[in-house]
Amino acid sequence: LCNKFQQRNNLPLRCMFEGRQGKPFALNRGIGEAKGEILAFTDDDAIVDTHWLTSISKAFSTDVSISGIGGRVEPFNENTITFRTYKERTLLSSPYHLYNPLIIGVNMAFRRNVIGAVGDMDPQFGPGTKIGTCIDLDFIYRVYKRGFKLVYLPDVCVYHNQLLRTQKDIQSLNQRYMIGRGAFYCKYIIRGDIKISLMAFREIYIILKKIIKNLLKGKPIKFNIRCLCNLMTGAIYKLTDLENHKVK
């Protein structure tokens, strides 16, 4: 497939093999091999807009203060549940922008000096790992925390072609996101990060409030309990990984 694509286009495409399982290792291999000053990221279930690369290039050349961008994620089919269709240019000025993140891994780009400053993707997050998600959330927060300018630009667009066929698939994906967020919270809480600690407290407080409210009204609380358990599971996974690294 790569060879056929290369024959039909003038892009300097290179296909590489990464033997270690997991998306973070693949991304870090790509980062290490890339030669350009702007590194753009998308996923295997995305179809980029015709003007995707030119829009990214224009964004960085027009505003030299921008260090990273994310863009619009339109649904490609009716099964897509992960999308970002905001129409307004938005500066990421608060960590609360991460709660329902504007910038996600399927459509983002950074200057190379950003990668050099914050380091590679965390190999404990993302598909192929026990935590399974939030590799982009973790990386973007590290970029934000270092004071780099991050902007959401609706003109930079991809189409997300998710293959979620059943309600069970959707529930499983949402569960993985919750587990990932629990691990993300845990990573920064144990580092004494006040802002992330407050975000975690806020989410847990909202869930507990819903549980009490539903109990008083005689409504089911199974979903709310599951959400709380997923956050805790993610935190346990992260703590377990940290202990394993200490042993090694």
Tens-digit pLDDT profile for residues 45-88: 899 999 999 999 999 999 999 999 999 999 887 767 667 888 99
Instruction: Return d(Cα 231, Cα 219) in angstroms, integer.
Output: 22
Least-confidence region, from 78-82, 138-142, 214-218, 232-236: 78-82
Q: Which amino acid is at 176?
A: R
Rg of the chain, C-alpha, whole Å: 19
Q: Are 238 and 244 in contact (CB under 8 A)?
A: no
Helix (H, G, I), strand (E, B) or coil at 47: strand
Q: What is the mean pLDDT of residues 175-179?
A: 92
Instruction: Return d(Cα 240, Cα 58) in angstroms, integer.
Output: 43
Sign of the dihedral through C-alpha 67, 68, 71, 76: positive
Least-confidence region, from 28-42, 62-76, 106-120, 164-178: 164-178
pLDDT band at 164 (very low <50, low <70, confident <90, very high): low
Task: Check residue 9 and give its pLDDT.
Answer: 82
What's the per-residue H, E or C state across 69-103? EEEEEEECCCCCCCCECCCCCEECCCHHHHCCCCC
* Whole-model pTM over 0.85: yes
Instruction: Return d(Cα 127, Cα 186) in angstroms, integer.
Output: 18
Residue 175's contacts (CB-CB under 8 Å, 6 or more residues apart) are 226, 230
Q: Are 71 and 87 in contact (CB under 8 A)?
A: no
Q: Residue 74's closest CA among 166, 178, 156?
A: 156
pLDDT band at 248 (very low <50, low <70, confident <90, very high): very low
Q: Are 150 and 67 in contact (CB under 8 A)?
A: yes
Q: What is the mean pLDDT of residues 8-31?
A: 89
Classify strands 90-91 and 38-41 as parallel, antiparallel or unpaired: unpaired
C-alpha 113 chain-centroid distance: 20
Task: Check residue 200 and give its pLDDT.
Answer: 94
DSSP 11: S
Q: Give pLDDT tens digits for 92-122.
A: 988 777 777 889 999 999 999 999 999 999 9
